[in-house]
Structure 1
């Protein structure tokens, strides 16, 4: 007789196995997500420095060149091609000394035409003035003739008046004499008024003509002076620099062909990174080393225009009477931005290029872990630490180019 064997329920067994597998996978995923990304690095490949407290001095260092205290540019006044060169770069010149001669035939012809036109206008004004004088003279002649007629009529009037009273002269002749005298009197008065008015008008016109002639003479003088501008001369005494005109080369009006340095005192000119534009201002003190001595200089001018990421700074010596300087010498300038203060600092390093000072690797035994930090001021030696690091901790200051995505560095001694 067959025995009935009960069938085992395998469904619960499968569910249990699936649960265990799912739990293991979950643990692995969580571990992989929470595990910090690490990288093995030889300790000899990185630079490890200590966080310390130092007298922090905010300053910058840049190169500056010696230039004369005062210079004047040599500009071309009338453009043209270089015809003659009388001096060489580096020569000492006196005020008014010819430096070079330029020539432009078109400008020369224009000057000649303008000069001819001005002379013609001056001659026309002279003719107009002469015509007014002639007109005055003719009026004066007419007035003399009229006055002569008047006096004749007056004498006849006086004589006939007596004759009429003596009844020697007829009434008709006397009335004719009276009418003629009245006519000559009015005629003389009218002409005299006309002559006086004409004289006043002519005086005004002649004054205007004289004024116009004066202006034309000045314009003509300026034009003739401008013809001399083809000759480039030294505007002051000094030494030529950057003076390199080329024979036959055309130069435009206003173009600079060199400068004259006044050899009385020197200054320093420097190009500084635009990062420091807001930190550099007039009156700040700096120093340079010259012949094993520290020389004090002061910022005299800041030119805020930025070109190619840099702006210009002018510095003057506080006392350069005993300095034997030469144009073109270069000095390293140490410009103070703040006084010395005790601060927590770390040495400067190339790590900043990748982190911008927002994080750093902090060494702990044979590992270096990534940590958020905050940096403040800087100078050529140190970064000021504001938060995130303690004095005595060690950090990696070398470059992080290969560690940007890494959170832990395993430091190997081999």
Structure 2
């Protein structure tokens, strides 16, 4: 019996010990879940900014390069291999100045064959026109002879008429002269009518021949002009750029071999992040800093095609004053997206990378508490605050990488 009582006492002791451990663990768990996680930080390790009620200007900043206002591509008209190079990249050219000479034996042989064929056709047409002229000349000669016979018959008729009336000429001779006169008159009329119609027909044929010859001559001129296209010349005056031909390299017809920049003004070309595609439009104004002065620019063209996450924007200088610019110079463009409005703002900082602008640490005395916020627009300097903060609040804007699971920061001096 004594053994049984002892065992029962030990069992109660174990139960009490387990209950105490459970209560201790429960208390620790409750305390852990209810107590805010905190972290001690040095004031010098963080950046503290004050929420301000100030004018907010929505703008973006991007890099733009200087390009000539007007340029023209130099395209190869007749393809071929580079045989000679006459100028260097960057040279200033006059209109018509030779750049390179190309060579294509197959094309040149084709030109010679075509030229020979056209010349032969022109010669044949000229011969046909000459034959028509000779035919007209022969008809004119025949007409002269016929008119001569007609005049002789007419004179003989008039003379015999008088002789017959004076009964000097016999009746048979008179009738013969009458018949001969009638015959020569009808013969002359028929030949004259025939020559008239022949001339009309010949005029039409000669007009067609002349038209064909003119067309052939034009084709010949075009052909000879095309032969000159093996010599690539400057289409206008300006500075040569993007010109890097190589001796022996073959260029196809229509391929660009360089560019001529008309040195009569400049523009800016920029690639902007696609995020701003719907916010950048023509006629928006901005400025660049040039020699410690702000120079106004305006958007002249927006190319909406997105490549590698960016789209192209062209800007012109607002004032036409002389600017000593050089092609390829780079400027930081500040482009205004909206007018200035007064609102609550906070300086930009790296905290946004971790929070996406959904929360921030608000500083009160030597502590910083986590608070939900709502941000609006942004520019390179400020975020617009829509909710969660008031003017005068102090916030931490430095990086939050080590504070993601922290609710309270203890700021130490």
Distance 1:350 1:109, change over 3 A: farther
Aligned to 1:279: 279
Distance 1:317 1:370, change over 3 A: closer
* Pairwise CA distance, 1:298: 2.6
User: Is 1:333 the equivalent of 2:333?
Assistant: yes
* Pairwise CA distance, 1:192: 0.6
In structure 1, distance between residues paired with 2:354 and 2:174: 129
CA contact (8 A) 2:65 2:268 kept: yes
- Give me the CA root mean square deviation: 3.3
TM-score (norm 2): 0.79
Distance 1:211 1:171, change over 3 A: same
* Pairwise CA distance, 1:352: 5.9
Aligned to 2:194: 194
* Pairwise CA distance, 1:379: 1.4
* Pairwise CA distance, 1:147: 1.3
Distance 1:165 1:46, change over 3 A: farther
1:6-405 maps to which residues of 2 (within 5 A)?
51-319=51-319, 321-348=321-348, 359-360=358-359, 363=362, 367-368=369-370, 370=372, 373=374, 375-387=375-387, 389-392=389-392
CA contact (8 A) 1:43 1:411 kept: no
Distance 1:411 1:388, change over 3 A: closer
In structure 2, distance between residues paired with 1:394 and 1:114: 86
In structure 2, distance between residues paired with 1:138 and 1:41: 123
In structure 1, distance between residues paired with 2:54 and 2:99: 59
* Pairwise CA distance, 1:248: 0.9
CA contact (8 A) 1:360 1:396 kept: no
In structure 2, distance between residues paired with 1:123 and 1:91: 47
2:407 to 407, 410, 413: 410
Distance 1:356 1:138, change over 3 A: farther
CA contact (8 A) 2:98 2:233 kept: yes
CA contact (8 A) 2:371 2:388 kept: no
* Pairwise CA distance, 1:224: 0.9
In structure 1, distance between residues paired with 2:355 and 2:137: 99
Moved more, 299-308 or 104-113: 299-308
Structure 1 portions without partners, runs of 5+: 1-34
In structure 2, distance between residues paired with 1:170 and 1:333: 122
Distance 1:332 1:154, change over 3 A: same
In structure 2, distance between residues paired with 1:262 and 1:159: 92
Distance 1:54 1:187, change over 3 A: same
Deviation per CA, 1:77-102, whole angstroms, max 9, x where unpaired? 11111111111112222222211111
* Pairwise CA distance, 1:56: 0.3
* Pairwise CA distance, 1:369: 5.1
CA contact (8 A) 1:304 1:311 kept: yes
Deviation per CA, 1:187-206, whole angstroms, max 9, x where unpaired? 11111111122222222322
CA contact (8 A) 1:59 1:379 kept: yes
Moved more, 271-280 or 393-402: 393-402
Distance 1:39 1:108, change over 3 A: farther
* Pairwise CA distance, 1:279: 2.8
* Pairwise CA distance, 1:122: 0.8
Structure 2 portions without partners, runs of 5+: 1-32
TM-score (norm 1): 0.79
In structure 2, distance between residues paired with 1:241 and 1:74: 10
CA contact (8 A) 1:64 1:330 kept: yes
Q: Secondary structure at the match of 2:72?
A: strand
Q: Secondary structure at the match of 2:303?
A: strand
Deviation per CA, 1:357-399, whole angstroms, max 9, x where unpaired? 6x4456596652556x3x4432112233345654455667678
* Pairwise CA distance, 1:261: 2.1
In structure 2, distance between residues paired with 1:139 and 1:257: 63
Aligned to 1:30: none
